[in-house]
């Protein structure tokens, strides 16, 4: 029997990637379609834990399978500096492109002083700019029938000027039909902010994939397949309970799978009792891994709004939320829109809202005092 096949770590590709077939096929078509295809600039957005970084991993894997060079980055301050000083030069070294070299060619000794003559080979600047480096790389790659992929994770407004600079250069590459592709990922609100900025027309033209929850049948495949491949089985009741407990949330698929597997590792078959034990363990860890960072990104009033919703066992009536907050309908509606945009809640019809992140209601109830709510 093999070890635990599930990988509940952010950004780690799961053993079986499900529910993203269209996005995966679209990216492969973009790489194969040649310069100028709209899919060669692609954005993935979605809530925490829906698999944005996993999709970047998949994009990179597909590019590498086709012989492309991949440079991966994160949209933090210094993005362009790191690309120019580290990422692109390292790609050039891997390709063994010519580097600036100076060699000693002769020694001249005038009567008054000593002198050294140098020959300069491969005369190009020791430190090139972003555009010139991309041009040199893509010239070489085009001659070999491949290309360059740049991926940027965690897009956010703080790095807007740097994303603007990168986008402007990539746009020039597109216009010149160079073999370049770009894939980025970020939270919905951050991506929306960047797309509405007048200076970022490049991103507005990108192919966009919004990643949501995964269908139950796909969740079951994502749980059953790795279990069987690792030498165990899972009965139908256990599989149904585990799948339902994920809420279709991709990160939770891995977290639930991991703890269901661990519940009784010596058992050849995972039964309903083990599934329930694993779900409880996964729920406890969901708070630290998902809920805490998600709430950290929100304002104090956003969190109070969610705490007011947590008083209900199901969808919350907006009038009740406003009453609990002591605010009027117009005031609370603004926070409703903010939280919907952040994909923490969703409209449930007829003036109601509900949580979208599994077990967030329970987490808020259990930790209200610690959260200052």
Determine the pLDDT at residue 157.
Answer: 56
Place of tokens 């694993």: 278
Q: Are 316 and 353 in contact (CB under 8 A)?
A: yes
Q: In this structure, are 240 and 201 located in the same domain?
A: no
The last residue of a domain, from among 294, 327, 357:
294
Determine the pLDDT at residue 16.
Answer: 82
In a domain, 165, yes or no: yes
In a domain, 89, yes or no: yes
Please state the pTM of the whole predicted model.
0.81
In a domain, 9, yes or no: no
Which residues have CB under 8 Å from 90's CB, separation 6+?
71
In a domain, 199, yes or no: yes
Instruction: Mark out the alpha helices in the chain (DSSP H runs).
Output: 21-32, 52-65, 79-82, 88-94, 130-143, 160-175, 188-195, 201-204, 216-229, 236-246, 250-263, 272-286, 292-296, 300-309, 318-325, 329-341, 360-366
Q: What is the CATH number of the domain that holds 164?
A: 3.40.50.300
Closest to 183 (Cα-Cα) out of 160, 201, 167: 167
Q: In this structure, are 177 and 191 located in the same domain?
A: yes
For residue 60, give the 3-state DSSP assignment. Answer: helix
In a domain, 342, yes or no: yes
Per the structure, how many domains does the chain have? 3
For the chain, the distance separating the N- and C-terminal CA atoms, rounded to the nearest angstrom, is 47
CA angle 161, 162, 165 (to 5 degrees): 90
Q: In this structure, are 165 and 286 located in the same domain?
A: no
The last residue of a domain, from among 294, 309, 327:
294
Q: In this structure, are 226 and 307 located in the same domain?
A: no
Q: In this structure, are 259 and 193 located in the same domain?
A: no
Q: In this structure, are 178 and 278 located in the same domain?
A: no
Q: In this structure, are 332 and 244 located in the same domain?
A: no
- What is the DSSP secondary structure assignment for residue 315, as one 8-state letter? P
Which residues have CB under 8 Å from 336's CB, separation 6+?
305, 318, 345, 353
Determine the pLDDT at residue 266.
Answer: 92
- Tell me how far apart the alpha carbons of residues 184 and 58 are, in angstroms, rounded to a whole number: 12
Closest to 156 (Cα-Cα) out of 24, 342, 23, 339: 342
Q: What is the DSSP string of 148-175?
A: EEEEEES--GGGHHHHHHHHHHHHHHHH
Closest to 244 (Cα-Cα) out of 282, 292, 299, 199: 282
Q: Are 71 and 138 in contact (CB under 8 A)?
A: no
Measured over the CA atoms of residue 286, residue 355, residue 219 and residue 244, the dihedral's sign is: positive
Determine the pLDDT at residue 316.
Answer: 97
Q: Are 152 and 74 in contact (CB under 8 A)?
A: yes
- Tell me how far apart the alpha carbons of residues 347 and 373 are, in angstroms, rounded to a whole number: 23
Which residue range forms the structural domain that includes residue 344? 298-366
Q: Are 12 and 250 in contact (CB under 8 A)?
A: no
Determine the pLDDT at residue 288.
Answer: 87
Q: Which two tokens stand for residue 243?
A: 């799948």
- Tell me how far apart the alpha carbons of residues 224 and 222 are, in angstroms, rounded to a whole number: 6
Which residues have CB under 8 Å from 348's CB, separation 6+?
315, 316, 354
Determine the pLDDT at residue 194.
Answer: 78
**Sequential pLDDT tens for the chain (373 residues):** 679 999 988 778 888 888 899 999 999 999 998 887 779 999 999 888 888 999 999 999 999 999 999 999 999 889 999 999 999 999 999 888 765 333 333 333 343 434 444 343 444 444 479 999 999 999 999 998 999 999 999 887 557 788 888 988 999 999 999 999 999 998 887 787 777 766 567 778 889 999 989 999 999 999 999 999 999 999 999 999 999 999 999 999 999 999 999 999 999 999 999 999 999 999 989 888 889 888 988 899 999 999 999 999 999 999 999 999 999 999 999 999 999 988 889 999 899 999 988 899 999 999 888 887 7
- What is the DSSP secondary structure assignment for residue 31, as one 8-state letter? H
Determine the pLDDT at residue 17.
Answer: 86
């Amino acid at each position: 029997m093999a070890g635990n096949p599930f990988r509940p770590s952010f950004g780690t590709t799961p053993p079986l990637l499900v529910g993203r077939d269209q996005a995966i096929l679209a990216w492969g078509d973009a790489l194969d379609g040649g310069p100028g295809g709209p899919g060669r600039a692609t954005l993935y957005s979605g809530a925490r834990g829906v698999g944005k970084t996993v999709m970047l991993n998949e994009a990179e894997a597909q590019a590498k399978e086709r012989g492309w060079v991949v440079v991966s980055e994160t949209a933090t301050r210094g993005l362009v500096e790191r690309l120019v000083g580290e990422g692109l030069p390292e790609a050039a070294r891997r390709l063994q492109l010519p580097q600036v070299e100076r060699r000693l060619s002769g020694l001249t000794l005038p009567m008054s002083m000593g002198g050294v003559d140098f020959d300069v080979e491969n005369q190009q600047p020791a430190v090139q700019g972003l555009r010139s480096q991309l041009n040199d790389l893509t010239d070489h790659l085009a001659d070999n029938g491949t290309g360059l992929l740049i991926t940027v994770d965690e897009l956010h407004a703080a790095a807007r000027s740097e994303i603007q600079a990168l986008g402007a250069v990539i746009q020039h590459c597109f216009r010149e039909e160079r073999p370049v592709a770009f894939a980025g990922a970020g939270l919905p609100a951050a991506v929306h902010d960047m797309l509405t900025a007048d200076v970022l027309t490049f991103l507005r033209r990108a192919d966009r994939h919004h990643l949501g929850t995964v269908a139950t049948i796909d969740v079951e495949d994502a749980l059953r397949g790795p279990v069987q491949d690792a030498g165990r089985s899972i009965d139908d009741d256990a599989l149904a309970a585990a799948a339902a407990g994920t809420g279709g949330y991709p990160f939770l698929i891995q977290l639930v799978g991991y703890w269901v597997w661990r519940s009784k590792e010596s058992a050849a078959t995972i039964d309903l009792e083990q599934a329930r034990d694993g779900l409880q363990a996964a729920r406890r860890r969901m708070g630290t891994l998902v809920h805490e960072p998600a709430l950290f990104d929100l304002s104090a009033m956003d969190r109070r709004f969610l705490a007011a919703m947590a008083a209900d066992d199901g969808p919350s009536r907006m009038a009740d939320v406003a009453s609990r907050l002591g605010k009027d309908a117009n005031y609370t509606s603004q926070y409703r829109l903010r939280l919907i945009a952040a994909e923490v809640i969703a409209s449930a019809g007829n003036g109601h809202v509900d949580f979208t992140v599994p077990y967030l209601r329970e987490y808020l109830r259990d930790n209200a005092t610690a959260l200052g709510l």
